[in-house]
C-alpha cells in the first residue's frame, strides 16, 4: 500500500479527522510512549505528506514523523475504541474517530529543524504543489544510473514506489535500463506530468490504476484481471502474462534488490 499516494491520502484523512482540536496520543505498545506523553491532550494542528513521509504537526518543534516502510499501516475506527489489537505504536483519539499505527519503519517526534533537514534531502514530490521537477531532471540528466533505479531514489523523486515506477516506464515506452542521461528532457517532462496525474488519481481513489481505457481487458476482450494490490496495471507483478497491448510475456528481473517488471516489446527504447 505505501507509495506516495497512500501517504497523501492519509494526510488528508488525518487532517480532516483531527486538525484544529485537541487529540489524545497514546502508545499502547510502549515504543512511542515518552513522545506520546508530550503530545497527549494538546492541539493537532495539521497533517501533511512529502513523498512517503507523513507529518503530524502538533505545535512548534512537536512534529510526529511517520514512515510506514514496507508493511506499516494505519487503521481507523469510530469512538469509543476497542482495546488495541497487536502492537499499536501510536493511537490517536479525536472527537469522532480513533487511528492506530502498526509496524512503521519510523515513528518519532522531531523538531522543526529536523523536519526541514529531512525534507531537504527529499526530491520533488509529484503530489505537492511546491514541487520543482527541474530539480529531479538535474539529477537524472547527469546520471549514468538506470532510469528505473533513479525513479525509486527518494532523493531524486519523492513518492514513487515500485508500482508507479514499473507502470510509468511502461506508459512511456521506456526501457528500464536506459541511463538517466539518455532519457531526454521532453520524455522526462511527459513522465513527470503523467506521475502527477496518476498519483493524484491514486490518492483520490486509494489504489493504483494505470491502464488506459482503450487497453482495459474488458474492452480488448482479454480476460479481466486484478492484481492483489487492488488496482489495474500493465506490468507490475504480471511476470509471464501477456502484455495488455502487444501480448508479449511480461519480463521480470531483480534490480538493486527490487522487483522490476517490463514489456520487452513495448519498452524497447
Partner DNA sequence: GCCTTATGTTCAC
Partner DNA sequence: TGAACCTAAGGCT
| Interacting residues toward DNA by CB under 7 A | 1-3, 6, 29, 31, 51-52, 67, 69-73, 86-87, 102-103, 105, 152, 154, 161-163, 208, 228-230, 237, 256-259
- Considering the complex, state which of residue 25 and residue 208 has its C-beta at the smaller distance from DNA: 208
Which residue shows C-alpha cell 481487458? 217
Long-range contact list for 135-138, CB < 8 A, 24+ apart? 136/188, 136/192, 137/185, 137/188
Toward DNA, which CB reaches closer, 31 or 97?
Answer: 31
* Active-site position among 3, 89, 102, 165: 3
What gap in Å lies between CA 194 and CA 142, rounded to an integer? 22
Q: Are 177 and 143 in contact (CB under 8 A)?
A: no
CB-nearer residue toward DNA: 67 or 222: 67
Q: Are 152 and 45 in contact (CB under 8 A)?
A: no
Could you tell me if residue 217 is left (phi over 0), alpha (psi between -120 and 50 degrees) or otherwise beta? alpha
Question: Of 225, 113, 162, 213, nearest to 4 (Cα)?
Answer: 162
Judged by beta carbon, residue 103 or residue 173, the one nearer DNA is: 103
Rounded CA gap, 68 and 49, in Å? 12
Among residues 9, 17, 24, 52, which one is catalytic? 52
Q: How far is the CB of 196 from DNA (least distance, A)?
A: 17
Residue 55 CB, shortest distance to DNA, in Å, is: 14
β-pairing, 21-22 vs 43-44, is antiparallel
Exposure of 216 in the CB half-sphere (CA atoms within 13 A): 7
258 catalytically annotated: yes
Q: Are 172 and 190 in contact (CB under 8 A)?
A: yes
* Shortest CB 17 distance to DNA, Å: 20
Active site annotation includes 87: no
The backbone torsions φ and ψ at residue 165, rounded to the nearest 5 degrees and listed phi first, read -60, -55
Q: Which residue, 102 or 171, has its beta carbon nearer to DNA?
A: 102
Q: How far is the CB of 12 from DNA (least distance, A)?
A: 17
| Active site residues per annotation | 2-3, 52, 258
Amino acid at each position: 500500500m505505501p507509495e506516495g499516494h497512500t501517504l497523501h491520502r492519509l494526510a488528508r484523512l488525518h487532517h480532516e479527522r483531527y486538525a484544529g482540536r485537541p487529540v489524545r496520543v497514546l502508545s499502547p505498545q510502549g515504543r512511542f510512549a515518552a513522545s506520546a506523553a508530550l503530545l497527549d491532550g494538546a492541539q493537532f494542528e495539521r497533517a501533511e505528506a512529502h513523498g512517503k513521509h507523513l507529518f503530524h504537526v502538533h505545535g512548534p518543534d512537536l512534529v510526529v514523523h511517520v514512515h510506514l516502510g514496507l508493511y506499516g499501516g494505519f487503521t481507523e475506527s469510530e469512538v469509543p475504541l476497542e482495546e488495541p489489537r497487536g502492537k499499536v505504536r501510536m493511537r490517536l483519539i479525536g472527537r469522532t474517530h480513533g487511528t492506530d499505527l502498526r509496524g512503521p519503519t519510523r515513528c518519532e517526534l522531531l523538531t522543526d529543524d529536523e523536519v526541514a533537514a529531512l525534507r531537504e534531502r527529499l526530491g520533488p514530490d509529484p503530489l505537492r504543489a511546491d514541487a520543482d521537477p527541474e530539480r529531479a531532471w538535474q539529477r537524472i540528466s547527469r546520471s549514468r544510473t538506470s532510469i528505473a533505479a533513479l525513479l525509486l531514489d527518494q532523493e531524486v523523486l519523492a513518492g514513487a514506489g515500485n508500482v508507479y515506477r514499473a507502470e510509468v516506464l511502461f506508459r512511456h515506452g521506456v526501457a528500464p535500463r536506459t541511463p538517466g542521461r539518455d532519457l531526454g528532457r521532453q520524455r522526462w517532462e511527459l513522465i513527470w506530468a503523467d506521475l502527477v496525474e496518476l498519483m493524484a488519481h491514486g490518492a483520490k481513489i486509494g489504489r493504483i490504476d494505470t491502464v488506459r481505457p482503450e487497453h482495459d481487458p474488458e474492452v480488448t476482450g482479454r480476460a479481466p484481471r486484478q492484481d492483489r494490490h487492488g488496482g489495474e496495471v500493465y506490468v507490475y507483478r504480471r511476470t509471464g502474462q501477456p502484455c495488455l497491448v502487444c501480448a508479449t510475456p511480461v519480463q521480470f528481473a531483480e534490480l538493486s534488490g527490487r522487483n522490476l517488471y517490463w514489456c520487452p516489446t513495448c519498452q524497447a527504447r
